[in-house]
Structure 1
Amino acid sequence: MRSTIYWICMLLSLATVSANAMAQAPQRFVSIALHDVVDTPAELDGDSVTSDRLVALFEWLAGNGWTAISLDDIERARQGIQPLPPRAVLLTADDGRRSLYTRVYPLALAYRTPIVAALVGEWMDTPEDGTIAYGPQRLPRSAFITWEQAREMQASGLVEFASHSHALHDVVIANPQGNPLPAAQNLRYADGRYEGVAAFRSRIGNDLTVSRDRIRQELGAAPRAIVWPYGRYNQDGLDAATAAGFRYALTLTPAPADATRPLEIGRFLPTSDPTLGIVVANLRFEDPWPSARRIVEVDPAQLVGADTQNTNQRLGRIIDRLVKLGATHVVLDAATLSADGRIVSAWFPNSHVPVRDDVLSRFSAQMHSRAGVDVVVRLPHAAVLRTLGDRQRALALYGELAAHVPFEALLLEDVPALGDDMARASDAPWDVRRRREASATSAWPHADAFALEAFRVAERARPELALYWLAPPTHRLDQPSALADVTLVPRAVNVPPGDIPPLHVPLSRRIGVWWTLPSPADARVLVSAIRAYQIRGGTVFGWRPDDPAADMPMAAAVAPAFSSREAPGPGVVP
């Protein structure tokens, strides 16, 4: 009897261990974010798809071994009760457009496909004769579903409703120049003051509580998931969401999702009515690294004029220049430095160093929206530590930078430890992020460990922030860092390219040359260096400094070799 009890206990123990192991192991799935569905190309906007292509997607998923899953399936996998199927896909629909009821829901019924649909409370509560501000448009209330239609869809057992916030699907004025930025991620600027972090968390928390209450009142159950408007959020907002009762959070990060990480469910957003082939390639994440990065460094001091009008004119010219060059990224300095490597002043509001002018947020927002470039911010950690001394004050400065300035990547330099582990060809962007999260820095030199900690502080305000590493000039051009999304190797532009090894995809998309240009810059020498690097397989490159006022290097001469576009863009009117 004792032996029988022993074996029963052993089997139960093994079953528990197995379930816990499954709950901790990655349970990956992919997710699609639908918006409006229209019948003709003439009705398309940037995020909508045509109904024939949506039907083709449903049919392809059904005929190729994909299984549409629900939040219940994800929860069972998270708890280790039942693993997700090998080809699992979560279908979602944002905004509550009328086509959710007239186009998506009928397909869900026909294919028995679960859908997670996200509703904006303020829009749902708009009177029948009212209008709704939908991006740059004002749409009639009839362009969106009603609560009655939502109840009908929910009763089918196939549609679960999530919160898309109550009134956060909007923008706030985020700097003194009046740039509008997503409300759920950015501090509000009003009456000459910035919103505090506590006030921001209260604003987000109150909104999400109202949203949960309204959905519970109308549909009988509070939503489990928050679908961040525009895919934008930060850690303070996420903390407020979990405190309000949300257990799932959906973004627009184009990456596979993981049931063990329910608060960061990335989704693929079909834009410009993609063909089935494009959608399938994205669902498989066949080529996740950008095919080209073209990087230009711009000193904000060159853009600040004698008055606001002059500054705007200069900003317009550099935006026009970035488009003509075909740049994909721009590096912006967050501070000015002294000759001995100390911070003299900053271009963003903070409580630790003098503010020369609060313009970095505007420059970043305008370059991103009007020139279509991702912004890489440079704030050398060695200079921060040398200036402030105290580690906590230094980290706080990075927190204030990220809280006030929208940017996509942070450039770290003088961090030799980032070169200790080389990238693997099999790594995707999400693998790099996970490896960076798990990286232990206890054995790193003090300054190197601080640099990565500073990055993590900035990442709290800008989730999915990319890490760019400026490697030493002697670093090999075929060895990107395992912890950096992009490794840049500084070189003089007139150095012969004979030491450049052949570069192969995908590693060639994670490392590149950052040329230092003399003054004045000779466009012919730069073009020659670009061509030589491209012949070796290089796809990531750029230069510093850029002189937009003097058109150095000459945009017309450099663009054909440098541009990431098939042809240089037409420019932007300031």
Structure 2
Amino acid sequence: MRCWPNLLVGILLWLISACAAAQIQTAAPGVFYSVALHDIADSEDQLDDSGITSDRLVAFFEWLAGNDWTPIRLDDIARAQRGEIRLPEKAILLTVDDGRSSTFTRVYPLALTYRFPVVAAVVGRWMDTPAGETVTYGRQQLPRSAFITWDEARQMQASGFIEFASHTFNLHREEIGNPQGNGLPAAVTRRYDPARGYENEAAYRARIRRDLQRARDGMQKHLGRAPRALVWPYGRYNQTTLEIARAMGFEFSFTLDPEPAQLAAPSSAVPMEIARYLPTENPSLGEWVSAMQFIDPWTNTRRIVPLNPAAFASGSAQVTNLRLGTALENLLTLGTTNVLIDALAADEHGRIEASWFPTETLPLRQDLLSRLAAQMSARAGTRVIIRFPHRQALHTLGSTAAVEQLCRDLGRYVPFDGLLLEDVASLARQPADPQDTPWQMRARRQRTDFSHWPLADRLAMRCFAIIEEERSGLQLFWRAPQYYPLMRGAALADVTLVPGPTSNPIPLARDARDPAPPDGLSPYQHIAHRTGLWGYTGGKANVAEIRNAILHYQSYGGTTFGWEPQDLIDNRPPADILAPTNSARAFPPRGTFKKDTTPPADQPGEKAP
């Protein structure tokens, strides 16, 4: 083991000042906090985005010890779940993923020194790689020595302070997820084979089950016990993978959902979706403590730009790639945080004709939606919102069952972050509570009875729920009716977009139905992160109108804005002119994008950058 003789002395003064700035928030009953560590290194130049320097990890452990936090074990969670004990008010679960060598040389010594229990997750294939060979870690090759050995794992386990969890056997990688060759997270992707097409549900379930079982068997062999906890690679999971893990006997599973962790609902025997905070970019202690407790949990800035797959569709892969490259450059210039992509193809009268993803219910215009979504996320650093016209789909397909299957296929085959629903008037019934957190709002949505809603509105919420089963963490965007009060977010929507002509911005007045803000705070500050202005500029977007509308909206505290039309291929209106007004303040998000000038991959088997 290595030691750092002057480390604590060197950080002492910094630690005292950082602790004074750190905020402490007491958890509600049944709620605790969890941190997902990865690699630990002595200097920043040795880190990747999720790495932490040794001095900052020591500072964090020292802060926990000095501020009466109680690091807990999985046993504590299990007992609390059974009602045998109550978790401490300041409980924290420490975890470390991937089994990097620093788990043994950095985290383990600290666990022994501070007497802190830690859950460590290892990947079976990496652990089984022979000495002297390399491990495929993301998109780089690392020597086997960069990871712990089974001997080291046994030594750590014997201490009583390290419990090992499965990080799967070989799901910590990407699978080819579409005909164009985009690599997508293996656990939630129906892989694409050029000869056989997409993996069917039976094959997908069997693949996940085999992998989890192989990892369990390996840990049983090398550690003498099967793991009771499962850590999803990249934090990606869905209800199918949870169902399989639960049936196999896993008692816990861990995500990277950005929220406090909590015990399972009374109806569930085990907590299978334990959320964790992932510290990135080597945060200072103050940043770490604040972010870990999700004190300001709503996304504070969104710039949304629409995208129609029809503009990219072509019989020539080269033409499609050229159009896509141009669009990506213009998105970067605009400083966009979200793209809004249409899921279905319609004729000039708005009637649904086909889909942009494989489905059993509509003709396939071109299998393009997954490609666009993956490239916008990976190469432009944007989050993807899919616009789903549920009323038009119902009119075309004629049955709610067919629309539900359409939604199920959308969730299975397309990677995206948010679903935009339009014409759901029932969402206007209850205004957003300014004190709600995203997880409180989501829980309210899940327990709401929609049976008394009109058929089309009920179908919209059913579609969202179906897709959410495949895309955990999915956000609901709702386009409100015109002249809906801009500051009144919908209680059941993450984001409410209010449409209006940019030449005549919607007044930001409050009415009696809006919740009263707490004393001393403007009402706009409380709902601003859950509402946005969606501008319509007619047949031709006008730069001056868009800029004036953004500035007017921002003067009232607004942070979410979008408009249409926007031609990302012909660059109308010009991105460089709009960028100074539109660009998000912190774009691209730190660690999410590095500009890549290579052309998009187009052949099956290639992984797009």
Fold shared per TM-score above 0.5: yes
Match of 1:89 among 79, 88, 92: 92
Contact 2:255 2:274 in 1 (8 A): yes
Equivalence map 1:327-406=2 (5 Å): 327-406=336-415
User: Does residue 232 of the first structure (1) align with residue 236 of the second (2)?
Assistant: yes
Partner of 1:322: 331
Match of 1:493 in 2: 502
Shift of the alpha carbon at 1:504? Answer: 2.3
Aligned-pair CA distance for 1:516 = 0.8
Q: Secondary structure at the match of 1:506?
A: helix
Query: 1:382-426, CA deviations, whole angstroms, 9 ceiling, x for partnerless residues?
Result: 011111112111101100011000000011111111111111111
The 2-side partners of 1:460 and 1:311 are apart by 31
**Change over 3 Å in CA distance of 1:373–1:432 after alignment to 2:** same
- State the match for 1:526 in structure 2: 546
1:242 correspondence with 2:246: yes
Check conservation: 1:66, 1:89, Cα contact below 8 A: yes
> Aligned equivalents of 2:62 and 2:536: distance in 1?
53
Give the distance between the partners of 1:150 and 1:116, measured in 2 at CA: 12
Q: How does 1:481-560 map to 2 (within 5 A)?
A: 481-499=490-508, 504-560=524-580
User: 1:327: how far off?
Assistant: 0.7
* In 1: Cα distance, 2:30 partner to 2:118 partner: 19
Question: Aligned Cα RMSD in Å?
Answer: 1.6
Aligned partners of 2:345 and 2:528: how far apart in 1?
32
How many residue pairs are counted as aligned between the two chains? 550
Cα distance, 1:26 vs. partner?
Answer: 5.3
3-state SS of 1:542 partner: strand
Q: Deviations over 1:326-351 (max 9, x none)?
A: 11100000111235543101100111
Tell me if the contact between 2:379 and 2:595 (Cα under 8 Å) persists in the aligned partners: no
Aligned-partner Cα distance in 1 for 2:374–2:314: 18
Q: Deviations over 1:471-514 (max 9, x none)?
A: 10121111101100000011111114545567522310000110
Q: Partner of 1:505: helix, strand, or coil? A: helix
Q: Equivalent residue for 2:257?
A: 253
Residue of structure 2 equivalent to 1:124: 127
In structure 1, C-alpha distance between the alignment counterparts of 2:313 and 2:201, rounded to whole Å? 28
Instruction: Give the conservation status (yes or no) of the 8 Å contact 2:541–2:565.
Output: no
Q: Is the CA contact 1:305–1:314 (under 8 Å) kept in the aligned structure 2?
A: no
Unpaired segments ≥5 residues, structure 2: 1-27, 266-270, 511-521, 600-609
* More displaced 10-residue stretch of structure 1: 515-524 or 36-45: 515-524
Q: Deviations over 1:233-286 (max 9, x none)?
A: 111111111122112110111111112251111111111111111101112211
CA distance in 2: counterparts of 1:414 and 1:463, whole angstroms? 24
Distance of 1:447 and 1:570 partners within structure 2: 42
> Which residue pairs with 1:144 in the alignment?
147
Question: Is 1:311 equivalent to 2:309 in the alignment?
Answer: no
Cα deviations by residue, 1:158-177 (Å, 9 ceiling, x for unpaired): 11100000011111000000
Matching of residues 47-126 of structure 1 within 5 Å: 47-126=50-129
Pairwise CA distance, 1:432: 1.1
* Displacement after TM superposition at 1:41 (Å): 1.5
1:497–1:529 contact (8 Å) kept in structure 2: no
Q: Contact 1:316/1:572 (CA < 8 Å) preserved in 2? A: no
Q: Does 1:452 align with 2:472?
A: no
State the Cα distance separating 1:305 from its structure 2 match. Answer: 3.1
User: Distance between the aligned counterparts of 2:94 and 2:427, measured in 1?
Assistant: 38
Matched residue of 2:554: which SS?
helix
Q: Which amino acid aligns with 1:88?
A: A
SS at match of 2:532: strand
CA 1:193–1:376 in 2, change beyond 3 Å: closer, same or farther?
same
Query: Distance in 1 between the 2:594 and 2:263 partners?
Result: 44
Which residue in 2 is equivalent to 1:19?
none
Q: CA offsets, 1:113-135, max 9 Å, x none?
A: 01000010111111112110011
Pairs within 5 Å for 1:273-312:
273-312=282-321
Distance 1:570 1:29, change over 3 A: closer
How does 1:182-201 map onto structure 2 within 5 Å? 182-190=185-193, 191-201=195-205
The C-alpha deviation readout for 1:363-383, integer Å capped at 9, x for no partner, is 000000111110000111101
Q: CA deviation at 1:547?
A: 0.9
Larger CA deviation: 510-519 vs 179-188: 510-519
Amino acid at match of 2:69: W
> What residue number does 2:22 align with?
none
Deviation at 1:550? 2.8
**TM-score, length of structure 1 as denominator length:** 0.93
CA distance in 1, matches of 2:505, 2:69: 51
SS in 1 for 2:372: helix
1:205 is matched with which residue: 206, 209, 213?
A: 209
Return the alpha-carbon distance in structure 2 between the equivalents of residues 288 and 498 of structure 1.
Answer: 27
Question: What are the residue-to-residue correspondences of 1:145-160 with 2, within 5 Å?
Answer: 145-160=148-163
Q: Distance in 1 between matches of 2:360 and 2:527?
A: 40
1:17-28 paired onto structure 2 within 5 Å = 27-28=30-31
Quick one: which amino acid aligns to residue 367 of structure 2?
Answer: D
Amino acid at match of 2:316: D
Q: Is the 8 A contact 2:500 2:506 kept in 1?
A: no
| Secondary structure of 1:358's aligned partner | coil
Q: Map Cα deviations across residues 80-122 of structure 1 (whole Å, 9 max, x no partner).
A: 1101100111100000011001100110011110100001011
Partner SS, residue 361 of structure 2:
coil
Counterpart CA distance in 2 for 1:277 and 1:95 is 26
Among 41, 45, 49, which residue is 1:46 paired with? Answer: 49
Post-superposition offset of 1:201: 0.7
SS at 1:160 equivalent: strand
Which of these residues, 21, 35, 40, is aligned with residue 37 of structure 1? Answer: 40
2:449 to 420, 440, 464: 440
Cα distance between partner residues in 1 of 2:576 and 2:215? 52
Q: Is the 8 A contact 1:288 1:428 kept in 2?
A: yes
1:429 aligned onto 2:438: yes
Q: Using the alignment, how far apart are the partners of 2:569 and 2:543 within structure 1?
A: 15
Counterparts of 2:373 and 2:54, CA distance in 1: 37
Deviates more, 1:471-480 or 1:545-554: 545-554
- Conserved? CA contact 2:486–2:506, under 8 Å: no
Question: TM-score normalised to the size of structure 2?
Answer: 0.88
Q: What amino acid sits opposite 2:308 in the alignment?
A: D
CA contact (8 A) 1:70 1:115 kept: yes
Distance change in 2, residues 1:496/1:477 (3 Å): closer
- Helix, strand or coil for the counterpart of 2:220? helix
